[in-house]
């Protein structure tokens, strides 16, 4: 049996593993390891050959005879996905970005052995004009972040329980089980102000307090991340799986549940693998199983794989799926806290919610509440994707403005384009226009402007985005993912999509806008679950903030952003055309013809597009080499 005393002893034994990294500040080095080389092993960087980089590092260090002095650590996501693969060398914190296997030998020879950082391979922002080097925490992307849920992601070896324990892992579980009553644990979470990070923002402590009495109860984790552009939960499971095990143990103790299930989508193979490794490691050490810390409390976990059904993100559909039934929601009440999995009282929270629990128990409710806003305590993780300079994973205090996230952290919009909107909350959320850039991001403020927090996806759109097409995209997704159980969602969303399709094809009428709004409210009020109840949000928010675009599609038969194919034509400016003929050679239907006209200053005849045959594929624009402006344009 692992006691609190033995856990403390293990922490001290393992602390040297982190001595060279910021997360291990104050720890004593083992006297042998000179440097730690941390390489991201998350999904994004793995797809960019980071595992080859790790193999090449190990091979090169062995060949140079220094493998025993240098520790190569495969971590989870560092956050700045746009720069992957990422390699950080500690103790100096040198931040190498977009590393390739071919660069490894030079880094080892010049930096690891020679002591001279290879500056040309570093992330440019970490190199000051005077040549001095900053660590990643002093770059724009990281400076305004505060990591609680992502505390250990990118800082520890995701598959090594020793490093998690060295970073105070399982101390919160030991504290809760040996010094607190279940009611005190629930009260601490309630007082922290933590709200569910999976969508609606229901107070976590309150949810735990509502669980009905019973001998058999279940604690569940929703890792079925389905929103387009969202990868927060996946990154936590890949980079810090033990934090979920520890948090679910604490939650199980708080409500009196002895069995937990993590429902994770099968499309996350790295996350599933690392979570399985972590569960086995925890069992071997006695951190899962019988009589945890000598408290008399038994708890164990199992993984259940989802097949990618978006509706299984809804709690009752998720529970039915675990039971082996068709994943579709059921009416509530009774709520899962009374009648959930296998008809027993059950509590479900998502990955990010759980990732906050250990720090709340260790540092106290007031520590957590001191961050964020009065109604939305703590921090929030966002996936920053789309038309943004720095794609990645960010964690900021609640109340941080959208402008700060997009411009100060995300680096703004690429190619000098203008910001147009940000979609938060995925298919359930709404679009936030440029006029609301200074909105502080928290649960209540987003609700007031017709958006929602959701799980944390933040898709940034520039001036070339058609907002009618965006509404159509999300509604298409929702229609595909609806389980079809209730009529308002099954039929209502399809009718909405039909109207949007007509508008994007130039066949809409102004009366359709009122029809859509009315239909949206009917679907919201009458759908069985949150999928249907929130499906109209992208339509309503775009109608509210970008109504003029709908009007342009209907009245002028024009797509202002030049996206909707049926509403645009391609043309060639004959005075800009240099007569190279690339557009004609690449046109798949031969609709581009040579003319007799030679523009002033040019030597070759220009071309013209026969719009009656054009299929609007855009190949002509792509291949036009004319500068400074292309000769082919949309009209």
pLDDT in tens, 468-485: 999 999 999 999 999 999
| pLDDT score of 393 | 95
| pLDDT score of 612 | 87
Element holding 43 (H helix, E strand)? helix 43-46
Q: Quickly list DSSP for 76-111.
A: ---S-GGG-S-EEEETTTEEE-S--GGGHHHIIIII
Is the domain spanning 569-634 CATH 1.20.1050.10? The answer is no
* CATH number for the domain formed by residue range(s) 4-143: 3.40.30.10
User: Per residue in 56-88, is it b (16+ CB within 10 Å) or e — as a string?
Assistant: bbeebbeeeeeeeebbbbbbbbbbbbbbbbbbb
| pLDDT score of 457 | 87
Question: Are 166 and 18 in contact, with CB atoms under 8 Å apart?
Answer: yes
Mean pLDDT across the stretch 40-46?
94
Where in the sequence of the chain do the CATH 3.10.20.600 domains occur?
379-462
User: Regarding predicted confidence, which is higher, 530 or 163?
Assistant: 163
Mean pLDDT across the stretch 601-612?
92
Q: At what angle do helices 487-504 and 547-555 cross, to 10 degrees?
A: 60
> Is the confidence at residue 46, as pLDDT, over 90?
yes
Coil, strand or helix at 539? helix
> Is the confidence at residue 547, as pLDDT, over 80?
yes
30 confidence band (pLDDT: 50, 70, 90): confident
Mean pLDDT across the stretch 115-127?
95
Q: Summarize pLDDT for 380-419 with one digit per residue, the tens.
A: 999 999 999 999 999 999 999 999 999 999 999 999 999 9
Distances from the Cα of 318 to the Cαs of 229, 288, 335, 426, 613, in angstroms? 21, 24, 13, 19, 50
| pLDDT score of 387 | 96
Domain 168-369, CATH class in plain words? alpha beta
| pLDDT score of 456 | 84
Question: Residue 448, Cα to own-chain centre: how many angstroms?
Answer: 23
Question: Are 167 and 156 in contact, with CB atoms under 8 Å apart?
Answer: yes
> Is the confidence at residue 568, as pLDDT, over 90?
no
Mean pLDDT across the stretch 566-581?
92
> Is the confidence at residue 274, as pLDDT, over 90?
yes
| pLDDT score of 111 | 97
> Is the confidence at residue 369, as pLDDT, over 90?
yes
| pLDDT score of 13 | 95
Where in the sequence of the chain do the CATH 3.40.30.10 domains occur?
4-143
| pLDDT score of 199 | 77
Where in the sequence of the chain do the CATH 1.20.1440.230 domains occur?
467-555
| pLDDT score of 26 | 79
Q: Name the range with the highest mean pLDDT among 130-139, 445-454, 517-526.
A: 517-526
The pairing of strands 346-350 and 218-223 is: parallel
| pLDDT score of 538 | 93
130 confidence band (pLDDT: 50, 70, 90): confident
> Is the confidence at residue 163, as pLDDT, over 90?
yes
| pLDDT score of 635 | 79
Phi, psi of 431 (to 5 degrees): -95, 130
> Is the confidence at residue 355, as pLDDT, over 80?
yes
Domain 467-555, CATH class in plain words? mainly alpha
Where in the sequence of the chain do the CATH 3.30.70.20 domains occur?
569-634
Mean pLDDT across the stretch 33-54?
95
| pLDDT score of 198 | 84
Q: Summarize pLDDT for 281-322 with one digit per residue, the tens.
A: 999 999 999 999 999 999 999 999 998 888 998 999 999 999
Give the chain's mean pLDDT: 94
* CATH number for the domain formed by residue range(s) 379-462: 3.10.20.600
Residue 247 CA to residue 226 CA, distance in Å, equals 22
Per the structure block, which two tokens stand in for 548?
């003029």
Counting residues of the chain whose pLDDT is more than 70, the rounded percentage is 100
Q: Identify the CA nearest to 5 among candidates 363, 362, 293, 361.
A: 293
Counting residues of the chain whose pLDDT is more than 90, the rounded percentage is 86
């Amino acid at each position: 049996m692992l006691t609190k005393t033995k856990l403390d002893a293990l922490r001290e034994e393992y602390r040297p593993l982190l001595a060279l990294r910021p997360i291990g500040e104050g720890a004593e080095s083992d006297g042998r390891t000179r440097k730690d080389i941390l390489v991201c092993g998350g999904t994004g960087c793995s797809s960019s050959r980071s595992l080859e980089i790790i193999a090449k590092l190990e091979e090169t260090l062995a060949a140079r005879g220094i493998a025993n002095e240098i520790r190569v650590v495969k971590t989870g996501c560092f956050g700045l996905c746009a720069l992957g693969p990422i390699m950080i060398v500690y103790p100096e914190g040198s931040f190498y970005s977009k590393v390739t296997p071919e660069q490894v030998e030079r880094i080892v020879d010049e930096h690891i052995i020679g002591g001279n950082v290879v500056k040309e391979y570093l992330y440019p922002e970490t190199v000051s004009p005077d040549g001095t080097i900053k660590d990643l925490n002093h770059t724009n992307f990281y400076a305004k972040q505060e990591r609680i849920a992502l505390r250990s992601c990118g800082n520890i070896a995701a598959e090594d329980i020793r490093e998690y324990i060295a970073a105070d892992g399982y101390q919160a579980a030991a504290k809760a089980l040996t010094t607190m009553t279940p009611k005190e644990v629930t009260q601490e979470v309630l007082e922290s102000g933590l709200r569910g990070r999976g969508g609606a923002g229901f107070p976590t402590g309150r949810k735990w307090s509502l669980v009905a009495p019973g001998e058999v109860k279940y604690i569940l984790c929703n890792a079925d991340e389905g929103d387009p552009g969202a990868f927060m939960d996946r990154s936590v499971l890949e980079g810090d799986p033990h934090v979920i095990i520890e948090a679910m143990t604490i939650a199980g103790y708080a409500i009196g549940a002895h069995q937990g299930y993590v429902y994770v989508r099968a499309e996350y193979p790295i996350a599933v693998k690392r979570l399985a490794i972590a569960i086995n490691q925890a069992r071997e050490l006695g951190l899962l199983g019988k009589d945890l810390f000598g408290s008399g409390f038994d708890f164990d976990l199992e993984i259940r794989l989802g097949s990618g059904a978006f509706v299984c993100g809804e709690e009752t559909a998720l529970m039915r799926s675990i039971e082996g039934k068709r994943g579709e929601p059921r009416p509530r009440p009774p709520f899962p806290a009374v009648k959930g999995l296998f008809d027993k009282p059950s509590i479900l929270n998502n990955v990010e919610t759980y990732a906050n629990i250990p720090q709340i128990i260790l540092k106290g409710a007031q520590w957590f509440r001191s961050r964020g806003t009065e109604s939305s305590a703590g921090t929030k993780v966002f996936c920053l994707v789309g038309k943004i300079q720095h794609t990645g994973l960010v964690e900021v205090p609640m109340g941080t403005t959208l402008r700060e996230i997009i411009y100060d952290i995300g680096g703004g919009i690429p190619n000098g384009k203008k910001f147009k909107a940000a979609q938060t909350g995925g298919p359930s959320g709404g679009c936030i226009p440029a006029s609301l850039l200074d909105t502080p991001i928290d649960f209540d403020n987003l609700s007031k402007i017709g958006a929602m927090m959701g799980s944390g996806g933040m898709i940034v759109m520039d001036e070339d985005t058609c907002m009618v097409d965006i509404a159509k995209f999300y509604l298409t997704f929702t229609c595909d993912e609806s389980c079809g159980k209730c009529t308002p969602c099954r039929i209502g969303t399809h009718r909405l999509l039909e109207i949007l399709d007509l508008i994007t094809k130039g066949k809409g009428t102004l009366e359709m806008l009122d029809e859509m709004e009315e239909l949206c409210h009917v679907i919201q009020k009458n759908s069985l679950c949150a999928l249907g109840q929130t499906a109209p949000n992208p339509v309503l928010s775009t109608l509210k903030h970008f109504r003029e675009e709908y009007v342009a599609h209907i009245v002028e038969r024009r797509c202002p952003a030049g996206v909707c194919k049926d509403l645009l034509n391609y043309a060639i400016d004959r005075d800009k055309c240099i007569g190279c003929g690339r557009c004609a050679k690449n046109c798949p239907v031969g609709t581009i013809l040579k003319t007799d006209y030679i523009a002033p200053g040019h030597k070759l005849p220009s071309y013209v597009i026969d719009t009656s045959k054009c299929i609007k594929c855009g190949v002509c624009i792509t291949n036009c080499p004319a500068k400074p402006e292309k000769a082919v344009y949309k009209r």
